[in-house]
DNA sequence: ACCTGAACACCGTTCAAGT
DNA sequence: ACCTGAACACCGTTCAAGT
């Protein structure tokens, strides 16, 4: 790759990152090229589709996430490992609103530039989930696809401005659903007729 | 309202319904007007924003949903009532992919044509949730906003084609999270080291 | 090799002109 | 009252022409 091309590509990525963080994954590609002071054709040459651009923006984080899954799979508590990883997985697309819908679409579309990343993500999650299931701490009736869907839903939720204030709390609620055997806050309403205290 | 205007409006709504079901809530308004064989300005006159059009398409279902909440609040089992209503709430936007994001945005935007419907929906859910909480069967650390967010997330999920096959199952998982005290399938992994049977 | 921007076929939105 | 469609300012995508 020629030096000038490399420079264009890098600059384009930096501008794309800030623009997407500002306007979401549907930001105008024309506008990104304009801000980068580069011809529109140059953007298309480096990133033939919007998915390709997003993939370039997120690739490093995806790779990190896959490594983290392996690290965590060796570390201690399987429940804690899974929850930690879920947090990190959701954080990856945070701020790139609209990107998660493209990722979900990509998992069923082998032609998408995001396909491989999605498959890797799902595989990493599946490993940690299975470990937690074998440990008897995660529900047994969910699989890697379910986990991928739950991650997607939580990531989507965390990128809807009006829902942001509840996102962390709902993460906990859903984590409890996945890991009912985990030592956590006794959230429940208690026995019918009981008088549980009001948390929060 | 003049008879010809009424006719245009009704026809526009019928065409819009089928177009949105086919292409999602971001369907081209120009295309809807074209299919309805009506001037573009006529569409804008009747529905000044995309939200106004969606609202007109969904209003009847929203009203029904609010009534259903009252019915169910009087009927028997609070847990069962809530779950039934949640199912119906999610079904309302089913097929209108992309609509749920507009609704979420609308709940924080009093100027949106969808605002009132969202508020009504949230209020109806809150009533059923509180009843279940008082009955000791729903977790006490969630409120109407959380329920609205969970409905949104499940509705979003159910409109992502690759996730559709898991949507029903994930509904159950999240329903279990909301209603841990409910007599349901013993999904859990059992005690650590235990040998729970494999459901499903 | 790589870059550029005009060209094409679309959009959403507005509004003067018509009936 | 209501309808129409041209006009405007945008898109995404392609591709001939340049360096």
* Closest in B108, B177, B189 to A136, CB measured: B189
pLDDT digits (tens, 9 = 90+) for A15-45: 999 999 999 999 999 999 999 999 999 999 9
| Protein CA at A70 to nucleotide C1' at C8, angstroms | 50
Backbone angles phi, psi at B127, to 5 degrees: -60, -50
**Cβ–Cβ < 8 Å for A35, A19:** yes
Residues on chain A touching B196 (C-beta within 8 angstroms): 136, 140
CATH 1.10.10.60 maps onto chain A at: 1-48
Mutation target to probe the A interface, by most A beta carbons within 10 A, among B153, B167, B186 is B153
What pTM was computed for the model?
0.92
* Closest in B140, B166, B188 to A196, CB measured: B140
- Angle among Cα B77, B171, B167 to the nearest 5 degrees reads 145
Nucleotide nearest residue B46, measured CA to C1' = D2
Q: Which two tokens stand for residue B112?
A: 């949106």
DSSP string, B118-135: HHHHHHHHHHHHHHHHHT
CATH 1.10.357.10 fits B49-200, yes or no: yes
Q: How far is B157 from chain A (nearest CA, A)?
A: 6
- Please give, chain by chain, protein residues whose CB is below 7 Å from any atom of strand D: A 26-31, 40-41, 44, 48-50; B 1-2, 4-5, 8, 38-42, 44-46
What is the C-alpha separation between B62 and B151, in angstroms, rounded? 14
Work out the average pLDDT over A61-67: 97
| Protein CA at A28 to nucleotide C1' at C10, angstroms | 15
Strand, helix or coil for residue A183: coil
> Using the CB atom, is residue B2 less than 7 Å from strand C?
no
Nearest one of A68, A188, A81, A172 to A133, comparing CA atoms: A81
Q: What is the DSSP letter of B112?
A: S
What is the C-alpha separation between A159 and B90, in angstroms, rounded? 20
- Give B41-109 as a 3 state SS string: HHHHHHCCCHHHHHHHHHHHHHHHHHHHHHHHHHCCCHHHHHHHHHHHHHHHCCCCCCHHHHHHHHHCC
Q: Residue A185: its pLDDT value, please?
A: 53
> Using the CB atom, is residue B98 less than 7 Å from strand C?
no
Q: Residue A184: its pLDDT value, please?
A: 55
Q: If you count residue pairs, one on A and one on B, with CB atoms under 8 Å apart, how many are there?
A: 151
pLDDT at A71 over 90: yes
- The set of long-range contacts for B58-61, using a CB threshold of 8 Å and a minimum separation of 24, is B58/B92, B58/B93, B58/B96, B58/B99, B58/B117, B59/B117, B61/B92
**Cβ–Cβ < 8 Å for B179, B137:** yes
Q: Residue B199: its pLDDT value, please?
A: 40
pLDDT digits (tens, 9 = 90+) for B166-200: 999 999 999 999 999 776 555 554 444 333 333 43
What is the C-alpha separation between A144 and A127, in angstroms, rounded? 8
b/e per residue, A165-194, with b = 16+ CB within 10 A? ebbebbbebbbbbbbbbbeeeebbbeeeee
* Closest in A136, A150, A160 to B170, CB measured: A150
Which H or E run contains A119?
A: helix A115-134
What is the C-alpha separation between A173 and A179, in angstroms, rounded? 10
- Give A74-93 as a 3 state SS string: HCCCHHHHHHHHHHHHHHHC
pLDDT tens series, chain B, 200 aa: 889 999 999 999 999 999 999 999 999 999 999 999 999 999 999 999 999 999 999 999 999 999 999 999 998 899 999 999 999 999 999 999 999 999 999 999 999 999 999 999 999 999 999 999 999 999 999 999 999 999 999 999 999 999 999 999 999 999 999 999 776 555 554 444 333 333 43
Band (pLDDT 50/70/90 cuts) for residue A76 is confident
CATH 1.10.357.10 maps onto chain B at: 49-200
Q: Which two tokens stand for residue A138?
A: 């995660």
Give the CB-side neighbour count of residue A26, counting CA atoms within 13 A.
4
CATH topology of domain A1-48: Arc Repressor Mutant, subunit A (1.10.10)
Contact criterion met (CB < 8 Å) for B141 and A189: no
Which distant-in-sequence residues (6+ apart) come within 8 Å of A138 by Cβ?
Answer: A78, A79, A82, A129, A132, A178, A179, A181, B189
> Using the CB atom, is residue A2 less than 7 Å from strand C?
yes
**Cβ–Cβ < 8 Å for A54, A97:** no
Structure-token match 């009981």, residue found: A194
Which distant-in-sequence residues (6+ apart) come within 8 Å of B60 by Cβ?
Answer: none
pLDDT digits (tens, 9 = 90+) for A104-150: 999 999 999 999 999 999 999 999 999 999 999 999 999 999 999 99
Structure-token match 């097929």, residue found: B95
- Angle among Cα B4, B9, B13 to the nearest 5 degrees reads 150
């Amino acid at each position: 790759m020629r030096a000038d091309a490399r420079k264009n590509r890098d600059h384009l990525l930096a501008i794309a990152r800030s623009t997407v963080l500002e306007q979401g994954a549907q930001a105008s590609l024309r506008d990104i090229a304009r801000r980068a002071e580069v011809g529109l054709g140059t953007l298309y040459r480096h990133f033939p589709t919007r998915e390709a651009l997003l993939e370039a923006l997120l690739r490093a984080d995806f790779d990190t996430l896959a490594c983290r899954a392996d690290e965590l799979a060796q570390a201690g508590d399987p429940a804690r490992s899974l929850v930690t990883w879920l947090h990190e997985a959701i954080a990856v697309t945070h701020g790139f609103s609209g990107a998660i819908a493209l990722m979900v679409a990509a998992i069923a579309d082998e032609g998408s530039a995001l396909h491989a990343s999605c498959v890797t993500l799902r595989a990493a999650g599946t490993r940690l989930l299975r470990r937690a299931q074998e440990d008897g701490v995660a529900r047994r009736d969910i699989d890697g696809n379910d986990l991928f869907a739950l991650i997607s839903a939580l990531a989507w939720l965390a990128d809807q401005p009006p829902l942001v204030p509840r996102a962390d709390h709902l993460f906990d609620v859903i984590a409890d659903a996945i890991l009912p055997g985990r030592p956590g806050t006794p959230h429940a309403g208690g026995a019918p007729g009981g008088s549980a205290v009001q948390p929060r």
